[in-house]
Amino acid sequence: MLSKTTNLLPAQRSDEPALADMLHLYAREFSAFHPVEFGADGRFVYRDLPNYWADPGKHAFLIKSDVKTAGFALVQQASSVTGGDLVWEIAEFFVLRKFRRRGVGMEAAHRIWRRLPGLWQVRVLEANHAAVHFWHQAVLRFTDTATHPASLDRDGDRWRVYIFESAPTG
């Protein structure tokens, strides 16, 4: 069943506990592909989360499906992997299992790219096959052109990197 409505809402500081819980779920899933450090209590702590309300180059979003929280996106400005330009990048992106394969993640990604026009970089860990497929389709549908990601080896991991431009709307 497809979602009727997908919304992207800026997360408020009061949303931080809910984001921290979803980041824990995200880290549990991500640990199947990449080493993740968990605390002695078994919890994952995303130490950079408070900076998403303090740094103007960082944005935290809640993804809503109809009226229910379906996931989150953390977006930041960073140096491109090519070493030059300042780009937007999705630092973390997560859709709860219940909302996957309904178009929620795709619509959320497209809303993010339209909301923050400019040069974008999307890095995807190649070991995460579902994410590779999702991001390939998301970028292809957004840009409406053939996608040719670059490969990047960093710290023993292989990444696919998509670089594209998001034009201002309106």
Q: Which pLDDT value is given to residue 1?
A: 46
Mind listing the pLDDT tens digit for each residue in 23-32? 888 888 877 7
Of 44 and 100, the one with more pLDDT? 100
pLDDT above 60 for 156: yes
pLDDT at 3 over 60: no
Q: What is the pLDDT of residue 2?
A: 53
- Distance between CA atoms of 58 and 5, rounded to whole angstroms? 25
Among residues 55, 160, 60, 52, the alpha carbon closest in space to that of 115 is found at 60
CATH number of the domain to which 111 belongs: 3.40.630.30
Range of the domain at 55: 6-166
Provide mean pLDDT across the span 54-63: 95
Question: What predicted TM-score, i.e. pTM, was given to this entire model?
Answer: 0.89
- Is residue 56 assigned to a domain? yes
Query: Is 1 inside a domain boundary?
Result: no
∠ at Cα 132 (46, 56), nearest 5°? 40
Number of domains in the chain: 1
Query: Is 91 part of a structural domain of the chain?
Result: yes
Determine the average pLDDT of the residues in 22-45.
75
